[in-house]
Structure 1
Amino acid sequence: MSRQKIDSIQTLFQSRLETLEHLFKTGQTYFSDDESLLQKRIAPDMFPFGTQIAFTCNQPYNFSLWCEGKPLHNLNPEVVSLAQGYEHIANTKKLLSNIKVEDEKLTEEIRLELGEGLYMELTGSVYVNEFLIPNFYFHLITAYDILRMAGVPIGKKDYMIHLMPLVRKK
């Protein structure tokens, strides 16, 4: 029995949730704890920063539920307080850290209900690599972009914070 792939997925999600938390804290500091930060958005027809936090967390959250054999469901997208945003991140990290399945789980089929009578049937590997991870990065990057647009002084080193321990100076 192997857990190498599952462990890799967990590590990726955990480290990027740390990135999301870092970006959130930086934005919170820049906005002096003003919860209006949660309503910032790139365009009127796009979801605000608070919703991007929930949508980013939904991917590892639902991965964890699927691994546990539980029904998928999304977190509340109406993030109206800083505490609620941090709670989404913390609860997702905790759920993710409790995964106990083997890599064989990735060969199982999953049916994703898309609403309006639409669905997809995918293997676990396709679910992770073609659905979860792209959606995860889309919402993480959108959260980053909202903060940049709002004037928060962040850059690539903040987005790539998971690599900072590997950076050396000559």
Structure 2
Amino acid sequence: MNPPPLWQASVPVFLRYLERLRRWLDLAQAHAPGPDAERLLGARLADDMNPLATQVVIAANFALRACHPLAGLPVPSPGEPGPGFDGLRALVDRVTAMVRELPQERFDGAESRLLESQAGDALVRLPATEFLQHYALPNFFFHLTTAYAILRSRGVPIGKADFDGLHAYPPAGSDGAGAADERRAEELREIERSRLRALVDGDMPLARRLHAPQFQLVTPAGSAFTRDEYLGKIERGELRYLRWEPGAIEVRLQADSAVLRYQATLAFEPDSPFRCWHIDAYERIDGRWQVVWSQATAIKP
């Protein structure tokens, strides 16, 4: 059964770009540690515009202001952000969880709803489809893009590939092949981290985008699963990752293929974490990286 159209047009989009926003915060904090962090959080594109921290908060809140009314529910409060980048990341995580928990069936018949929102001094009242397309999504991306532009203007090393997680570019300028390969390797590391977060969070739209149709998993016990078998178990709740934390990820690159290797801590039960070696084979398929093989080997104490 296909998901409701307004669920499909809203929830997966907001979840994907909240995940991108969270990644930008990681890059920003790495670029501006310690006392520099406060200066970056307070940076603005223009004197009469909100600073970076506020742009992040407003963007995250628009995900709630869009998805909950579409589901026929009041807009919840995610609470105030804590201090610094950690507080903003926690806020984005709370919003992400609140959006992900919305049942798809709440969006059945959403097209017939008339939705309202306060837009500055104006009251916006629109049919649900127009509310999403003409108001909620444009405002979400306005504040998201402004946050990106502030980071870019302050020297944070992000680009279009960081914005959508889909673009990739050939080497440019005089950086040399080594620097270009390292950029590609870091892109693959981030894709793998995104894949693991999607599996832990149960974000199936993102998980399906990152796993190739021919994907196969071999478990530490020697069982083999196809993509549909593996992701189906997660979607049905038969397989539930509570934790999957990768260590340093090594990358071996070829033209359109790569092998990733790392140790990770996993948990299926709250008090039973364990460690594994992971080897993942990626291929560039239709212009984007997808994992095709994954094998885990348990590390015995």
TM-score bucket (shorter structure): 0.7 to 0.9
Matched-pair contact (CA < 8 Å) for 2:6–2:129? no
Does 2:56 match 1:53?
yes
TM-score where L is the length of structure 1? 0.84
Q: Post-superposition shift, 1:73? A: 6.1
Structure 1: state its 5+ residue gaps.
none
Shifted more, 83-92 versus 63-72: the winner is 63-72
Show the 5 A alignment for 1:107-122: 107-114=112-119, 116=121, 118-122=122-126
Does 2:258 match 1:137?
no
List per-residue Cα deviations over 1:84-115 (Å, max 9, x = no partner). Answer: 21122111101111112134113200122345
TM-score where L is the length of structure 2? 0.50
- Looking at structure 1, the residues matched to 77 and 123 of structure 2 have their Cα atoms a distance apart, in angstroms, of 15
Q: Post-superposition shift, 1:28? A: 0.8
Q: Which amino acid aligns with 1:50?
A: A
2:162 alignment partner in structure 1: 158
Aligned residues: 166
Matched-pair contact (CA < 8 Å) for 1:39–1:49? yes
Q: 1:75 to 1:68 in 2, by over 3 A?
A: farther
RMSD, matched Cα: 2.4
Greater strand share, structure number? 2
Greater helix share, structure number? 1
**Larger Rg, first or second structure (1 or 2):** 2
Does 2:13 match 1:9?
no
Structure 2: state its 5+ residue gaps.
169-209, 211-286, 290-301
What SS class does the counterpart of residue 109 from structure 2 fall into? Answer: helix
List per-residue Cα deviations over 1:25-79 (Å, max 9, x = no partner). Answer: 1011111254312111112111111001011111111123322521466865x77
Q: Which amino acid aligns with 1:140?
A: L
Does 2:288 match 1:167?
yes
Runs of 4+ in 1 over 4 A off after TM superposition: 71-76, 162-166
